[in-house]
Amino acid sequence: MTPKVKEERVIKPFRLVKYFTFSSLGVIFLGSLALSLLNTHWAKAMQKDKSEEYAKVLIENLNHQIFTQFAIPIAIRYGKVQLRDEEQFERLDKVVRNTLYSFKVEMVTIYDLNNVVSYSFDNKLVGREGLGGKEFKAALKGKSASKLSQRGNILEIMLSAPKEIKMVSFAPVKAEVGISKRPGRTIGVFEIVQDLSEDYRTIFQFQIRVIITLTLVMGILFLVMLFVVKRGETIFEKRAEERLALKEQLSRAERLSSLGEMAAKISHEIRNPLGIIKSSTALLKKKMAAVDASNTILDVIVEETERLNNIITDFFNYAKPRSPNLTPCRVEEVIDKNLTFLAPQLDGQAYRIQTRYGNNLPEIVADTAMLYQAFLNILINAMQAMPDGGDVHIEVDSTGGKVHITFMDNGTGIPHDVLEKIWEPFFTTKDFGTGLGLGIVKNIVESHGGNVQMDNRPEGGARVSIELPVNQGA
């Protein structure tokens, strides 16, 4: 199973949790929005019921005031009620307006039993017939009835926010004791119009505030959940990567352990014959010097035995790395030793090595010999990448309790497909070498608790970046 497949299997349950979380948040938002709309609907229904009860109380009071302050005095004085008489009409108008003073009533109309307007705040309506409608008929039967009248465009009415909304209430005019032989009988119909525009506008504004508040709260919750989920996803993915990296390290350690055992046996079996070959060749060369001093075959044998011995040494160092002997040291001093060693090779060649050390570089706890070997491998690789010569820049600085070492050359760089394989053992693009140099570098750096990376510089050439802890070793 590849690491990618493993990671997908690990992360998939978390994705389900993430989708469930956001889906639940959406459902909660829609449910809360629906509940707020229902609450607004209930508030409007309560306002309508309240206005109807309010109208009934007003009509009862108005009915009583008309009989006590108008009907009875007029009957006593004139013998009968005739609203065509201007004096009687004005007296009735005064009684009605005084009774309803300070109450939220826009219009009062009184119909006779034939659906003819006998009295109204609007004098133009007096005498008109058939304006009552079905609510008038219900009132004639002794039942109060109400209706809502709305004015506005379709959108305003659909949003329950019309420009104007009025409650029109009808109730019977009841005869009271004093001028009627049958108290309680219906002798006319009241129509009272209340303007509820302001009340409904307040409810609508409250609804908008609730929706805005709900949207803001849910938006904040969404952002919080998004942050938590992203944070959790990052942690989850990081831990998944750490688990995969740990598994790879364990697998690599097992392979190195097997290679180490094999390397020990191979190096022992090969180095002994190599030592004999080298010493025998040296002895034979002394004897051949008197016979044929110009013969170079023996020199080639010695050179090749040394090269083979170096290959075995590299393989052994990679397959069975030793634990570092930690002592206080300075990185810049180790690099200076590398440059001193390479100085003879640089003489007469077109290589220039430039160093830049930061101020107040701290000591680190490390194995000087191992760091020397790692830096030397990197420098040799850099020079091999520039066969015609070039510049190598070395920079050392320290931040955050770590020392950063950067090696940069101005060679041709590393192809992208090769960049992914450079740390693999025995991988090399050269015609010579074992392909273990960078692997040894990686082992040494990681054994010190650091990390190493290689990439291409934007201006050309390769760059090796090493990070070592100051106060922590392997």
pLDDT in tens, 402-419: 899 999 988 888 777 777
How confident is residue 32, by pLDDT bands cut at 50, 70 and 90?
Answer: confident
Q: Is residue 364 part of a domain?
A: yes
The CATH number of residue 369's host domain is 3.30.565.10
For 145, the 3-state DSSP assignment is strand
pLDDT at 17 over 60: yes
Distance (Å, whole) CA 297 – CA 283? 14
Residue 463 domain flag: yes
Q: How far apart are the C-alpha atoms of 418 and 428, rounded to whole Å?
A: 9
> Is residue 112 predicted with pLDDT exceeding 80?
yes
Q: Check pLDDT > 60 for residue 8.
A: no
Q: Are 464 and 454 in contact (CB under 8 A)?
A: yes
Mean pLDDT of 294-301: 70
Whether 389 is in a domain gets the answer yes
pLDDT band at 310 (very low <50, low <70, confident <90, very high): low
For residue 464 the two structure tokens come to 């090796």
pLDDT reading at 318 higher than 80? no
**441 in Cβ contact with 377 (< 8 Å):** yes
Provide the pLDDT for residue 474. 39
Task: Give me the number of domains the chain comprises.
Answer: 1
Domain annotation covers residue 7: no
The whole-number average pLDDT for the span 243-268 is 70
**Which residues partner with 402 through β-bridges?**
399, 469
Percent of the chain with pLDDT over 90: 6
pLDDT of residue 461: 85
Least confident of 2-16, 84-98, 431-445: 2-16
Question: Please, which pLDDT band fits residue 256 given cuts at 50, 70 and 90?
Answer: low
In this structure, are strands 390-399 and 402-409 parallel, antiparallel, or unpaired? antiparallel
Return the structure tokens found at 37: 């709309």
Classified as helix, coil or strand, 416 is: helix
414: left (phi over 0), alpha (psi -120 to 50) or beta: beta
pLDDT of 473 higher than 70:
no
Q: In the block, which residue shows the tokens 């990448």?
A: 385
392 lies in some domain: yes
- Residue 371 forms part of a structural domain: yes
E-strand ranges in 6-144 read: 107-111, 117-120
11 pLDDT more than 60: no
- Which residues constitute the domain of residue 341? 323-469
Average pLDDT, the chain: 79
Q: With respect to residue 176, please indicate whether it lies within any of the assigned structural domains.
A: no
pLDDT exceeds 80 at position 120 = yes
**284 within some domain:** no
Run of H or E residues at 169: strand 164-174
